[in-house]
Amino acid sequence: MRASLLQEFLGRSEISDILQAALSGQRLGFDECLRLVKSDDVYSMGLVANILRQKKFADTITFINNIILNYTNVCVTYCKFCAFYRPPGHEESYTVPIEEIVRRVATSREMFGITQVLIQGGHNPNLNLQYYEDAFRAIKAKCPEVGINGLSPSEVDMISRVERSSTREVLSRLKAAGMDTFAGGGAEILEDRVKDEISPLKIRSHEWLRIMEEAHEIGLKSVATMMYGTVETEKERASHIMKIAELQEKTGGFMVFVPWSFEPNKTEIQAEGSIKYPSGGHSLLKMIAISRIMFNGLIDHLQSSWLTNGIGMAQLALNYGADDFGGTLIGEEVVSATGARSTELTSGKIIAAVKQAGFRVAERDNSYRIIKYH
């Protein structure tokens, strides 16, 4: 769009001042973020978010060939939004033995050429730090070229309680054992009022932020996430984004922001009927665009979240600020437990989807370095 046409178009928007400030590279604060969250002018936000993405990445969209290893579904945290966990002793509970973890990674490396394993699971009180250290060391011994993107702050907190150790010590030992990056899920919305409603037994917001900061301090880069669409208010959405932005200003440790919409099927929240903002395509594109605008110059990468939103919406998100399609996520079980996942996505399907959306597609590694263009 020509510059004069763009100015004319944005001039008609109720959020014109914010969008102009974003285009000129200004850092935005809570009030601006809240106005974006409250606005329905998603098209104008998308236009600006897309310009910001283009400035940084031109026409290249990345993805990663990876698997998810959900090593245990045993969990004592009973989050109301989760359809995946089983209590200890439940007949459907499982923990994947270390030999099987290594076999899955090695087979996936051989068959699909994966360059990352994303390791996440429940809060299993029967697993000590040794289990994770042995698993990471065994993966690295067999497949040194596969990056380990592991665990969330709440899993690290659980391990520290099992070990009676500090979270910093746990993180240091995990890093020494081969964990390359800290996967960092489990943020949901970093507001304790929300946590009290949807995950009262999970670590508090300040603990999530503290553990993240510790990871960054010892040199573990990580992923910032957001799960929206449960019971949070617009203010709480804006507050979540600002808390991530503030920590990033302090540490610079987040590589990517991944906002995804809550998938309600088979969860306690759905049964209670307490969902405030049912998610849809409009909501997804808005959150993607807001993320690019708010994290411009702070967090480089933004994922389009095909897993919960479907491939079609993830394609559209590439025009609203996302620069990364995420991973093939072979073997994922957490979202699949809700029945939301309708397809297995191979690298071939991702490449075709990105090309169809009009972009150049590149495969990346665990640290967002481009391995090859397709």
Nearer to ligand SF4, 225 or 296 (CB): 225
Q: Which residues contact 273 (CB under 8 A, 6 or more apart)?
A: none
Nearer to ligand SF4, 122 or 178 (CB): 122
Nearer to ligand SF4, 57 or 84 (CB): 84
Intra-chain end-to-end CA distance of the chain, in Å: 27
| Bridge partner list, 31 | none
Nearer to ligand SF4, 267 or 366 (CB): 267
* Rounded Cα distance, 314 and 262, in Å: 15
Nearer to ligand SF4, 208 or 254 (CB): 208
Least distance in Å: CB of 104 to ligand SF4? 19
Smallest Cα–Cα separation from 158: which of 191, 197, 120? 120
What is the number of residues in the chain?
A: 374
* Kind and range of the H or E run holding 11: helix 3-11
CB atoms under 10 Å from CB of 301, counted, come to 20
> What is the residue type of 15?
I
Least distance in Å: CB of 121 to ligand SF4? 7
Least distance in Å: CB of 233 to ligand SF4? 21
Burial (0-12, 13-18, 19+ Cβ within 10 Å), 343: exposed
Least distance in Å: CB of 86 to ligand SF4? 9
Q: By the criterion CB under 6 A, which residues form the site for ligand SF4?
A: 75, 77-79, 82, 84-85, 122-123, 154, 199
> What is the residue type of 54?
Q
Least distance in Å: CB of 81 to ligand SF4? 7
